[in-house]
Structure 1
Amino acid sequence: MSTTPAASPRLSWPLLLAGLVALAFVAWGFWRAAQPPAPYFQGQMEARETDIAPKISARIARVAVTEGQQIQAGDLLVEMDSPEVRAKLAQAESAQAAAQAVADKARHGARPQEVQMARLAWQRAQAAAELAQTSYQRVQSLFDQGLVAAQKRDEAHTNWRASSAQADAARAQYDMAASGARAEDQAAAAAQARQVAGVVAEVQAAQAETALRSPVAGEVAKVLAKVGELSPQGVAVVTVVDLKDQWVVLNVREEQLQRFAMGSRFAARLPALGDLRADFEVNYVAVLPDFATWRATRGSQGFDARTFEVHARPLVPIEGARPGMSVLVEAQ
């Protein structure tokens, strides 16, 4: 009985080709995984922040804003209570009223009744002087006739001269009352009134500061004020950030600084916004302090590479970008 040898299996070319492709794909994947990641620069977004502090020390009565709230320039942030400012304002207003009254008196001069009294006193003194003159003339005539002694004549003459002097003094008093205060006195009184008015304006400005308002528009980032606390002068109680005033900050070694020259543009992506891509333009380049940035390029020779801080603004404001978000710039 004879046996027939079995036929050897024949390879399928399509299957062999698919295996080779799969093997190549796996090899490419291992090679790709073994490659170092593409180098990139990492920076972070910044925005303009304004720390708002009161000019006076006062107790916080009400906080009118909350964190995250959108505000406009001039919106009320915090109301403060200061009894000391109110008391100083009352004192200054009283002093202003008194100084203004003195200035008005100097400007208007004496009252009509005072002028009339001075005129009558002058007329009375003038009449007395005329009577004394007439009496002296009579005594002089009698003296010429030898009827009175020289003593009587001298007494009459002295009385006439004294009465004339009193009349001149009364006339001067009348003229002074009629003409009013001197120009120098009026100027001094007016200056005093202006000085006190300046004090009132200063206290009113301090009182206006008890209602703390925002000088800028934006978003309330921090609220440090609490009702009932004593807010010191010059210590920030609210921080406002302007999210439209954006820029990115990058730290770049000097051997790669040429790419970020002033006025140059580059593209970057923001992972926090779904890898949103945006274009930036460099507007600031400055070297960082030596102690934190130097690095030797070689162990035994070469130069120390410095690090520079680079600021770049987006060509178009990035919607949704916030301070602290990472910005990635792929190295070329």
Structure 2
Amino acid sequence: MKTILSTTKSKVIVVLVLILIVWVGYTFWQAYQTKPERFQGQVEAQQYLISSKVAGRIDQVLVKKGDKVTSGQMIFTILSPEIEAKLEQAKAGQAAAGAMSAQAEKGARNQEIAAAKDQWNKAKAASNLMEKTFKRVDNLYQDGVVAEQKRDEAMTQWQAARYTERAAYQMYQMAQEGARVETKLAAKEKERMAAGAVAEVEAYAADTKISSWHDGEVSDILLHSGELAPQGFPVVTIVDMQDAWAIFHVREDSLKAFKQGVEFNVSIPALGTDVYRFKVSHVSVMGDFATWRTTDANQGFDMRTFEVDARPVKPIKDLRVGMSVLLESDAQ
């Protein structure tokens, strides 16, 4: 009986020793296995800064944080009396340029043409009179009654009258023909220039009512009603969660697993335990600051850090900017 108990006890001890040996061996084996590396990323999304190229005072902000906006929806308005005054000035300049162009096209008025014709007739009558006077004086000179000086004076007066007649005739013709082609073209171009000035100010005036160019969600409002908005300063920020991606910072010795186009599974703790598929879309080196990490102090070899962008293969519901994204190196 004692022999049987001793044998049983020996067997139990042997089994326990074998179990202990197996457990110790498995523990050592596990300790020397390569553990999967975990990478933590963060969700980012495309942001749009809604601003105006016109400086002024914010009149109304028509959205609130969290509002869904669509392309073409009014976001905010700016009050700018200066632009309204400039628009009035530009329109007045356009009207003046148009009137000058119309005047150049129509030419002289009928009264101006008639006055020019009367001046020509007057000069012609004076020229005829001076011609007759010269002929009389010339006859008297031929008879020896008057001196040659009188004859020369009469001839000079006749020639001057003829020049005056020609000048009056040219003025009459100019009045009939109207403005020169070059003058008309210059007036027309000035009118176009004035119209361009009006269009420019109208464009600025239209930019006092700012609409969104994109669909998205209002993430921030930087200025409110009554505050001054500098030119180009963002007033409202919109984020488009349909254009979202995850950013990972990967050391270059692990970069081989993140080639462009590679897909992998990730988990997003904020969304529960589901697994999501992401695809690498872009890889770029980060700046020199804080991206070097020593791997071997003796050899002096440092690793750089790269920024890896990965986009979800399918849209993810309830995804938000800033959520953590976890990736195990064996989750390919």
Instruction: Please give the TM-score of this superposition, normalised by the length of structure 2.
Output: 0.83
> SS state of the match for residue 237, structure 1?
strand
Sequence identity, in percent?
Answer: 45
Q: Which position in structure 2 is the counterpart of 1:262?
A: 260
2:65 pairs with 1:63:
no
Q: Can you give the 5+ residue segments of structure 2 that lack an aligned partner in the other structure?
A: 1-15
| Pairwise CA distance, 1:68 | 1.4
Pairs within 5 Å for 1:71-90: 71-90=69-88
The partner residue of 2:175 within 170, 173, 177 is 177
> SS state of the match for residue 61, structure 1?
strand
> SS state of the match for residue 291, structure 1?
coil
Partner amino acid, structure 2, of 1:63: V
Alignment: residue pair count: 304
Partner amino acid, structure 2, of 1:256: S
> SS state of the match for residue 123, structure 1?
helix
Between 59-68 and 183-192, report the one with greater CA deviation: 183-192
> SS state of the match for residue 234, structure 2?
coil
Query: Would the alpha carbon gap of residues 37 and 67 (structure 1) be closer, same or farther in structure 2, given more than 3 Å must change?
Result: farther
Distance 1:220 1:64 in 2: 11
Q: Which position in structure 1 is the counterpart of 2:113?
A: 115
Partner amino acid, structure 1, of 2:286: L
Q: Which position in structure 1 is the counterpart of 2:270?
A: 272
Partner amino acid, structure 2, of 1:86: E
Q: Which position in structure 2 is the counterpart of 1:127?
A: 125
| Pairwise CA distance, 1:326 | 1.4
Deviations 1:134-164 (A, max 9, x none): 3322332343344544444334323321221
> SS state of the match for residue 60, structure 1?
strand
Deviations 1:216-254 (A, max 9, x none): 221111112211111122221100111111111011121
Distance 1:257 1:174 in 2: 90
Query: Would the alpha carbon gap of residues 144 and 299 (structure 1) be closer, same or farther in structure 2, given more than 3 Å must change?
Result: closer
Distance 1:164 1:302 in 2: 106
> SS state of the match for residue 289, structure 2?
helix
The partner residue of 1:223 within 217, 221, 224 is 221
Q: Which position in structure 2 is the counterpart of 1:94?
A: 92
| Pairwise CA distance, 1:193 | 2.9
Distance 2:145 2:298 in 1: 138
Q: Which position in structure 2 is the counterpart of 1:156?
A: 154
2:202 pairs with 1:204:
yes
Deviations 1:158-192 (A, max 9, x none): 33212211111101111221222233333333333
Distance 1:164 1:299 in 2: 110
| Pairwise CA distance, 1:286 | 1.4
> SS state of the match for residue 205, structure 1?
helix
Q: Which position in structure 1 is the counterpart of 2:101?
A: 103
Q: Which position in structure 1 is the counterpart of 2:230?
A: 232
| Pairwise CA distance, 1:124 | 2.3
Q: Which position in structure 2 is the counterpart of 1:4?
A: none
2:39 pairs with 1:53:
no
| Pairwise CA distance, 1:90 | 1.5
| Pairwise CA distance, 1:95 | 2.0
Q: Which position in structure 1 is the counterpart of 2:244?
A: 246
Distance 2:195 2:91 in 1: 8
Partner amino acid, structure 1, of 2:87: L
> SS state of the match for residue 44, structure 2?
strand
| Pairwise CA distance, 1:37 | 8.5
2:287 pairs with 1:289:
yes
Between 123-132 and 134-143, report the one with greater CA deviation: 134-143
Instruction: Please give the TM-score of this superposition, normalised by the length of structure 1.
Output: 0.83
Distance 1:45 1:53 in 2: 25
Q: Which position in structure 2 is the counterpart of 1:13?
A: none
> SS state of the match for residue 275, structure 1?
coil
Q: Which position in structure 2 is the counterpart of 1:9?
A: none
| Pairwise CA distance, 1:267 | 1.6
Between 160-169 and 177-186, report the one with greater CA deviation: 177-186
Distance 2:76 2:284 in 1: 38
Partner amino acid, structure 2, of 1:318: I
Distance 1:329 1:167 in 2: 102
| Pairwise CA distance, 1:306 | 1.9
> SS state of the match for residue 130, structure 1?
helix
Distance 1:109 1:174 in 2: 12
Query: Would the alpha carbon gap of residues 131 and 242 (structure 1) be closer, same or farther in structure 2, given more than 3 Å must change?
Result: same
